[in-house]
Structure 1
């Protein structure tokens, strides 16, 4: 059996509700800066939750990534965010973003939950009004699920595997593992991996109807997302994109690239919507199994995990998630790793959540800090019965993170877990 190649991260990109580039995002998460705001449009539409996280992308900023021709009739925020984060990650890695020939060594796995919701709505109205010929030539590219990977593939000349995955909130973490496996088995040298999510009433309306998003903080948006809090009342919808350049260690070393961290391994599974698992709830047995299998695949002992980047959505399932971590790692009380949730600052970025949160994980490892859990001064009592309060920092702490673990859990009872090591 061929020896697996070691895989490292050499580039990062992020488009988040609280920052549009890596330096700004690093500063924002260190200081607990929220990107959640109130939207009058949602209030006018009688949404119960009228707050959300949307990246503050200006028209001018768009034009640093897209030409005027590309922006003509363009109306897909998910593709916009994904392209921006992806191009930034490539530039950060030092790899070329322009190629006259196909780059056979570069592949893309860039996931999404939906693509071009607003463009699709626009298309429906034009068809219904018998203006089908006015849809434009990019309607299909903007609304097909693989639109994001197709746009990036064309802009970068990527000629290895170029695909889009979709596993609800586990999408971004799964994309990273897919890219990792591609390089580890020697089928690619570099993989651009990440995920993206649209925003707006047509995407968020379903969650509002399900009553899984908070309605209590329309007048105090920065206090709305409260992971692990006793007063958590539902998640806050968010949007954006995260991107990472994965590369074989030998390639990264040969070109003298900055190496942020190594991907040690991971695991993806499903609970089968059995034993408490459902379309919207995780099967705890499957969650624990996913974490344990990730440790096994990475050849990492649970006792050596320094830090957990949780899924932790600010719902009633947060204590259940903490219990699952305790069971899977067999660690409790003061022995539990440091843990936090980015969702307190940016909301739940849905399909983009895994990749945006992985970017935050790598930045914490690289700069030796753990960002604060915002809106979590009143930790849920079921959580403090399991782990010590000091393992849930509410202020930034300096910490040497040699081994970090990230997990994401999505609708459909799907799970993804990845482990990173400092190199």
Structure 2
């Protein structure tokens, strides 16, 4: 018999807020977290893209200095979001062997890696920090969260590009269903706004180049969208079985009703134009939720603001929802936050949790002229979802053909 898995805590550090509540309030207010990068290296390397969605609050302003200095920024963000989420969940008293961590990152400790490389070239091997490898390894954020909370059930890492942290939530759902833990801290983090990543994404024509107006650069579904905007930060959800949550008197935000992971096996960067992997992921997530497509009342779309990606996702949505794909309130929240890569799925799942709890679909900013080929129900203002039970899906699709979808149901 399947267990009901619920969300009891949330935390975030994003380009639009230093906490989950701040990020949600800014999202509803239609704020943009994207701005010009004020670093010397932008001009030094003549980067063709000069803006990104930087975290509104630096993790070093939150963490104690002795802790922060031993962590790559990707791990710093992870710890900030996880600490907020665990406290929000009431700091559940759970045996260390029954507390797990499912965490994700798309790129990992790129700053630690390349800073060490610069030190080696300029100052020699004796000056390279001894902690370089523990700081740069992709599992460092998961390890940092695990060690902080003494979570000994397990500490696992997902690295599946932009689908990473949605996959971590799916994994947490499955691990709780399997009885591997009673409480799981799940989420993802990314801190990859670095000259090499900006240059690389720009070189492949993936980034928007609206340097003159960064705040409106990410414009999903707009007819003149020209690429995604890089973002950074983290988001965390505390998940547990409903039985465990009720036994300790925890507040419950929403239910993680199902989730699925599939692969396109199509192309290293492009997603399948027929959306077959995305379709299977959405279908399976709904099957796990014991729901039909007709029950879905809200969608947080992957919607990165790329010319091809937005259309391909719409193709998959049409296959699942038919004509309702043009009626269901859809939010494309990357317009406000930018694309947090490995951390984006967790942040969007968090937004979906709050959407079904508050029965409101957050706005999609920067929608000036909607692409007629994508006639979805997207609004520049918050949309009420109505009364009664709510079911949302949150989609994430990543380089390499990774697809991850989570289904989120309201609780009363």
TM range, smaller chain: over 0.9
* Displacement after TM superposition at 1:202 (Å): 2.6
Who is 2:84 aligned against?
A: 88
* Displacement after TM superposition at 1:131 (Å): 3.5
Who is 1:212 aligned against?
A: 206
Q: Secondary structure at the match of 2:394?
A: strand
Who is 2:73 aligned against?
A: 77
Who is 1:184 aligned against?
A: 177
Matched, 1:268 2:257: no
Map Cα deviations across residues 131-190 of structure 1 (whole Å, 9 max, x no partner): 433333322221111100111111110001111111000001000000010001111101
Match of 2:395 among 399, 407, 410: 407
Range with greater deviation from structure 2 (115-124 or 242-251) = 115-124
Contact map agreement 1:289 1:328 (CA 8 A) in 2: no
Range with greater deviation from structure 2 (363-372 or 103-112) = 363-372
Map Cα deviations across residues 47-76 of structure 1 (whole Å, 9 max, x no partner): 222110010334xx635433x32234x462
* Displacement after TM superposition at 1:4 (Å): 2.1
Contact map agreement 2:253 2:357 (CA 8 A) in 1: yes
How many residue pairs match? The answer is 403
Match of 1:197 among 184, 190, 204: 190
RMSD of aligned residue pairs (Cα, Å): 1.8
Range with greater deviation from structure 2 (397-406 or 81-90) = 397-406
Who is 2:284 aligned against?
A: 293
- Counterparts of 1:11-410 in structure 2 under 5 Å? 11-41=9-39, 42-58=42-58, 62=60, 64-66=62-64, 68-72=65-69, 74=70, 76-96=72-92, 103-129=96-122, 131-198=124-191, 199-215=193-209, 217-273=210-266, 278-283=267-272, 284-316=275-307, 317-332=309-324, 336-384=327-375, 387=376, 391-400=377-386, 402-410=390-398
Gaps of 5+ in 2: none
1:333/1:362 CA distance change after superposition, 3 Å: closer
- Counterparts of 1:1-12 in structure 2 under 5 Å? 3-12=1-10
Map Cα deviations across residues 253-294 of structure 1 (whole Å, 9 max, x no partner): 011111011111121010111xxxx11111211111211122
Contact map agreement 2:318 2:325 (CA 8 A) in 1: no
Distance 1:38 1:301 in 2: 43
Contact map agreement 2:333 2:348 (CA 8 A) in 1: yes
* Displacement after TM superposition at 1:364 (Å): 1.3
Matched, 1:420 2:389: no
Distance 1:34 1:86 in 2: 24
1:333/1:356 CA distance change after superposition, 3 Å: closer
Q: Secondary structure at the match of 2:311?
A: helix
Q: Secondary structure at the match of 2:82?
A: helix
1:392/1:64 CA distance change after superposition, 3 Å: closer
Contact map agreement 2:17 2:57 (CA 8 A) in 1: no
Contact map agreement 1:319 1:380 (CA 8 A) in 2: no
Q: Secondary structure at the match of 1:159?
A: coil
Contact map agreement 2:49 2:198 (CA 8 A) in 1: no
Distance 2:87 2:205 in 1: 41
Contact map agreement 1:310 1:340 (CA 8 A) in 2: yes
Map Cα deviations across residues 317-351 of structure 1 (whole Å, 9 max, x no partner): 212211210112233465x3110111100111111
Distance 2:130 2:85 in 1: 29
* Displacement after TM superposition at 1:19 (Å): 0.3
Q: Secondary structure at the match of 1:268?
A: strand
Q: TM-score, normalised by structure 2?
A: 0.93
* Displacement after TM superposition at 1:43 (Å): 4.3
Q: TM-score, normalised by structure 1?
A: 0.91
Distance 2:53 2:78 in 1: 16
Contact map agreement 1:4 1:185 (CA 8 A) in 2: no
1:327/1:333 CA distance change after superposition, 3 Å: closer
Contact map agreement 1:5 1:185 (CA 8 A) in 2: no
